[in-house]
Structure 1
Amino acid sequence: MDKKSIIGIVLIFLIVLGFSYFNRPSDEEVARAQRQRDSVAAVPATQEAEQLAIAQQKANDSLAASAESSHATDSLFLASDSLAAQQPAELYLVNDNLSLQLSTKGGQITTAQLRGFHTYYGDSLLLFHGQGNSFGLQFWAGNSHVSTAELPFRLVGSASDLVASKPGDTARVTLRLQTQQGGYLEYLYTLPYGGYSVGLQIRMYQMDALLAANQRYVDLSWTMRSPQQERGLKKEAEATLLAYQTPNGDFEEINQKDEPVTKKVETKVEWLAFKEQFFSAILRAPVGFEQPTFTLASSDRQGYVKDFSALLMLPIDGGKNETYSLEFYLGPNLYKSLKAQEHGYERIVPLGSWIVRWINKYIVINVFDFLSRYITSYGLIILILTVLIKLVLFPLTFKSYKSQAKMRVLKPMVDEVNAKYPRKEDAMKKQQAVMALYKRAGVSPMGGCLPMLIQFPFLIAMFRFFPASFELRQKSFLWADDLSSYDSVLQLPFNIPFYGDHVSLFTLLMAASLITTSLISYKQTASSSPQMPGMKFMMLYMMPIMMLLWFNDYSSGLSYYYLLANLITIAQTLVIRRTIDEKALLARLQQNAAKPPKKSGFMARLEKMQQEQQRRVQQSKKR
């Protein structure tokens, strides 16, 4: 892109901003549009009565059909349980981390509260609750399709062991659905003291007479509606997804932006995760789930982010006495807590891939955790972490700067070589002569690039670490009240395309520091590269503007880190500049260039082969 193209893009962007601002509807236009909507929505009383009558008739028909289906299902189970279906009882399993509400209707967990955590708005943190959440078996019994999530279970035994209050305790409850034939479906929930794991043992006792004869599987249906927990709905929605792992260790993620996504997996799945930005509900079966079907969609209810759904197949062997051992993890996406489960749950934490993930796993997380043991301010921890990373990478930074200095001081000699070959036809000769000069002087044109490429994985590692770091959640520093989300020092009365409706001060400071570092880099390289003057706008302004737009919604901890990294880079550049004597460096390079080039063994053999080939050609011509 040349200078004119860049200016054109910027002007178009400014025009779009101005158009969206100056074409906002006035208060009178908004009021007039509202009156029009009200007039369209106003229905005559007679027409409204007719619509209500039609709706009531449809509701009655639906209720009649539902009652008929319910009667067919109820006949399969004990009639005395119908009273429990009308008045389901609520039970609680509690330890120091979780408070689980269970209902006798469906024998399922209806609410999962994570104790000690709160939403950004100060409410108790509920991983799931209310309508849109269900858990139960589905199967065919004769001609009736049974869904146990709607059927009444009974409490078996006493309700005295529902709290695990000290180490070694395990809260437990047994809920049972009795059949007319004497069999039953039983759920045994266990909640040990400490941690976020919940055990569930499903037992099907003497249900072979109830199940269809040709049935080889029963379906386990699990749906969950994830509520909004964090400040930035956009970033929370991007991080909310469905993930699963197969028994052979393959890990997959299912993400969704606009339309609902449905995926059927043709292999077994060891565990699946309904993952939110910082919390997850994970379900695991040691024997695996057969050919599951997953669905993920944006929630249509206010205050919720995504709707999860999973239909899992559990094998049956006659149904006389089937037992399935399942395990829930209902807790935070804290890397080491997930890794301690020893099932690969930590893979849901987005730390990057390959070398970037390796840097985060073995370096960044361990250093971050070590510092957090002794320092309570996470802003100070980020500062120390940034300094440590910059110190480790300083030899590469110094080598890169020195290589740039060599190229810069050698520029006059390169210009002399270029002047000897003014014609376009001599471009190849000119390039060969310049490379020969570099070789004699001991300068590598790529010497400054390689150190920068080695530092690049650390840059990406920080980009992945900070937005995914649970440790930063709701941790404040200076004006930022949550380092895991954006810091807003000014809420705008309108939304700016590509930017947002708020001003992040850390992002502004980061962009300003980036302009400063770009200016220093430009001054260092402009004199040694003829292409640099045409790239001035791109280097000095385009990249900072793009970063300003991009990072305005990102974690303020990430913007703060890049701000510190840029400031340290500026300081390092000023220090290195004082330590390198460019006059002495130029004198040494000139001495090197004046010496005859040293030939490597390979080059000597290659020249000898060329001379021998030329000699043979000449001899053949004489003949």
Structure 2
Amino acid sequence: MDRNSIFGLLLIGAILIGYTYLTKPSEEEIKAMNTRDSIARVDKLRNEEFEAARLEGLKAKYAEVEKDSVAIKDTYGAFAGAVNQKEELITLENKLVKLTLNTRGGRIQNVQLKKFQTHDSLPLLLWAEKNSKFGLSFYAENKPMNTQDLFFVEANGADAVDATTSEKGVSMRLMVGDDQYVEYKYTLAPDSYMVDFTVNLVGMQDVISRNSNFVTFNWEADIPSQEKGRKFENQYTALHYKFFEDAVDYLKASGDDEEELATKVKWIGFKQQFFSSVLIAGDAFKGVKLKSVEMEESSPILKNFSAEISLPYQGTQLESHPMKFYFGPNKFNTLRKYGKDLDGQDIELHKLVDLGWAIFGWVNRYFVIPIFNFLEGFISNYGIIILILTIIIKLILAPLTYKSYMSTAKMKVLKPQIDAINEKIPKDKAMERQQATMALYKKAGVNPMGGCLPMLVQFPFLIALFRFFPASFELRQQSFLWATDLSSYDSILSLPWDIPFYGDHVSLFCLLMAITNLVYTRMNGQMTQSSQQMPGMQTMMYLMPVMFLVWFNQYASGLSYYYFIATLFTIIQTVAIRKFMVDDDKVLAMLEANKKKPVKKSKFQQRLEDAAKQRSKK
């Protein structure tokens, strides 16, 4: 090499030595690097351990899966392929109803009525997720099976079916083989509360035990509280059922109850106060077990209803069991519309609306409801409708009210003469007093029971409307004046505590009803002799309005409003009759004239007098 090359190499070496010296790490940096290296070595060892554990876990898991597969095969037999699948939800809906179907069990999971809400503005669900059971149980290969826990496949291949314009259906199948399955078929028409539901057993004769004569359809649901007043709502929530070609009956609404029905049943209804889920047989159910369990007051659930229904099984290639579900409001005319079977026969769904028995139900069906529906066509305010309905009823009954007042007026003008008899005859001669009083009534032409018949005629209207207003779907969530819901209580004051039998609020319509009844009782007390002759009865009459105040405080405000208007109208009628139509002096003159006429005795009256004389002699 020449001198320049040697000098260049030495210069490069000096630069490298200088750079190394200037860039060497400090002692702190050396310590940090050593720490990072140590952490890296630990992480590497830990990852190696984790990987070894993961591989070991996978081996164990595969072993467990293999073990579970054997256990599933042993437990579910031909249905082993329908276990441990992924849940899928399918909606079937129209403008009125939305059903959510779950491939787990192929069942109806949720039922929502789209046009209604709960009292606190939440979606109204008749069935809610995890609060219902729905499926078939049977024996297959000598093992008990329940489709509730098995996975179906949706034959239509969609996750939403809209039935708003035409009839649509969803088929859910529990597969065993290509031509072997349990099928639930749901069909929904537009603008309908009715869902066609069919259970098909296809090619199951070699799967379901040959000695089985039936399969059991299990239906169970928790009934949630939907309305404002829980106590009142609970009274109208009960499990109803209709015997085939016979009467409608129900399990008791209070407490727990159960029933095993050996006779045919046409339908089973899980009835709430204003909504129902009803399972209707294509022909008839031939073996049914029903159960109702009441929940604690603190629970959001009112009751649990369950039904076990035996469906006949003959072991053929195709076994079909057509049924229907009604999911809708307990509205009388709506239930009458849907309450027809395939032959057009009335299956009496409308009896889910409790309008009272015998004459009380007739008054509601053929008088109150037609008038109410007629007024609905012109008036949208239900408070005004109740007012007009009350006036119509009171005007129709006005002749009876007049007759009742006349009977009371006659008793009033005879009071001085009755007092004279009581002064003349001592108290220890009660029979003689009574005979003298009855003789006076007979001469004057007064029937002391004359005011009772008009009251008896009005009584069916009183009781009929007592049944109508709490069951009237039309009043649900309808407001009037201060009442926010005419189907529930109206509260103007919340109390800091719950008073037994009264509640924790003050209902103004109930208070007004009690006040008008006190006024009317006072008016009647001034016109009758009960205060002197039957002081205990007079006390009872004054206690009745106070008892009404307690009883009706939690009842439907529409009912209290009706009784308030009806009593107020009766007071006005009474004042008008007293002031413009009946004169006490003229009534007394008429009775004195009657005394001069010969008394005509009926054979019955003669027998009563003879019997009284015989008792007097004894």
TM-score by length of 2: 0.82
User: 1: distance between equivalents of 2:443 and 2:269?
Assistant: 60
- Measured after TM superposition, the shift of residue 605 of structure 1 is 12
Partners of 2:76 and 2:143 within 8 A in 1: no
Report the alpha carbon displacement of residue 423 of structure 1 after superposing the two structures with TM.
6.7
- Residues 605 and 531 of structure 1, relative CA distance in 2, 3 Å threshold: closer
In the alignment, which residue of structure 2 is the partner of 1:193? Answer: 190
Preserved CA contact (<8 Å) 1:95 1:171: no
1:400 matches 2:395: no
Question: Alpha-carbon deviation of 1:230?
Answer: 0.6
Which residue type is aligned with residue 523 of structure 1? Q
Determine if contact 1:211/1:319 at 8 Å carries over to the other structure. no
Query: Are 1:255 and 2:257 an aligned pair?
Result: no
Cα distance 1:533–1:191, how it changes in 2: closer, same or farther (>3 A)?
Answer: same
Q: Are the structure 2 counterparts of residues 595 and 279 from structure 1 closer, same or farther at C-alpha, using a change threshold of 3 Å?
A: same
2:332 corresponds to which residue?
335
Residue of structure 1 equivalent to 2:292: 296
Aligned: 1:584 with 2:581: no
> Aligned to 2:453, which of 450, 455, 460?
450
Provide the rounded CA distance (Å) in 2 between the counterparts of 1:440 and 1:447.
Answer: 15
Q: What is the aligned partner in structure 2 of residue 227 from structure 1? A: 224
- In structure 1, the gaps of 5 or more residues are 1-62, 608-623
How many Å separate the matches in 1 of 2:605 and 2:230? Answer: 62
1:159 aligns with 2:163: no
* Superposition deviation, residue 269 in structure 1: 0.9
- Alpha-carbon distance, 1:493 to partner: 1.4
Deviation of the 1:286 alpha carbon: 2.5
User: 2:375 is matched with which residue: 368, 371, 375?
Assistant: 371
Residues of 1 paired with 2:608 and 2:121: CA distance? Answer: 75
1:198-597 to 2 correspondences below 5 Å: 198-258=195-255, 260-299=256-295, 302-342=299-339, 343-422=347-426, 424-425=428-429, 427-526=430-529, 530-540=532-542, 542-578=543-579, 579-597=581-599
Counterpart secondary structure, 2:554? coil
Q: Is the 8 A contact 2:236 2:253 kept in 1?
A: no
Contact 1:475 1:482 in 2 (8 A): yes
Q: CA separation of 1:68/1:461 partners in 2, compared to 1, >3 Å: closer, same or farther?
A: farther
Instruction: Provide the rounded CA distance (Å) in 1 between the counterparts of 2:327 and 2:499.
Output: 38
Over the matched positions of the two proteins, sequence identity in percent amounts to 45
**How many residue pairs were aligned?**
537
| Secondary structure at 1:479 match in 2 | coil
SS at match of 2:405: helix
Alpha-carbon distance in structure 2 between the residues aligned to 1:226 and 1:252: 19
The Cα shift of 1:256 comes to 4.0
Conservation of the 8 A alpha-carbon contact between 2:287 and 2:309: yes
Query: Is the partner of 2:287 in helix, strand or coil?
Result: strand
- Distance (Å, rounded) in 1 between the aligned partners of 2:433 and 2:420: 11
Post-superposition CA distance 1:205-235 (Å, at most 9, x none): 1111111121111100001111111111111
Shift of 1:420: 4.9
Question: Is the partner of 1:452 in helix, strand or coil?
Answer: helix
Q: Describe the superposition over 1:432-455 as per-residue Cα deviations: whole angstroms up to 9, x where unpaired.
A: 333232222211111001111111
Q: Deviations over 1:219-266 (max 9, x none)?
A: 0000111111111111111111100001122211112433x3222112
SS at match of 1:367: helix
Which moves more between the two structures, 296-305 or 245-254? 296-305
- CA apart distance, 1:606: 12
Q: C-alpha distance in 2, partners of 1:602/1:495?
A: 56
Q: Which residue is equivalent to 2:41?
A: none
Contact kept, 8 Å, 1:161 with 1:172, in 2: the verdict is no
Give the whole-Å Cα distance in 1 for the aligned partners of 2:380 and 2:520. Answer: 31
Q: Structure 2, unaligned stretches of length 5 or more?
A: 1-64, 340-346, 610-618
3-state SS, counterpart of residue 266 of structure 2: strand
CA distance in 2 between counterparts of 1:354 and 1:389 reads 20
Residue pair 1:418, 1:430 contacting (<8 A) in 2 also: yes
Q: 1:552 to 1:529 in 2, by over 3 A?
A: closer
What's the C-alpha RMSD, in Å, of the aligned pairs? 2.5
Q: 1:64 to 1:249 in 2, by over 3 A?
A: farther
Once the two structures are TM-superposed, the CA of residue 419 in structure 1 deviates from its matched residue by 4.7
- Tell which deviates more after alignment, 406-415 or 244-253: 406-415
Distance in 2 of aligned mates of 1:218 and 1:475: 45
Measure the CA separation in 2 of the matches of 1:65 and 1:267.
47
Please give the secondary structure, in 2, of the residue aligned with 1:595.
coil
Q: Is the 8 A contact 2:77 2:141 kept in 1?
A: no
**Paired residues for 1:58-137 under 5 Å:** 70-77=72-79, 79=81, 81-82=82-83, 85-137=84-136
SS in 1 for 2:277: strand
**1:161–1:171 CA contact under 8 A, matched in 2:** no
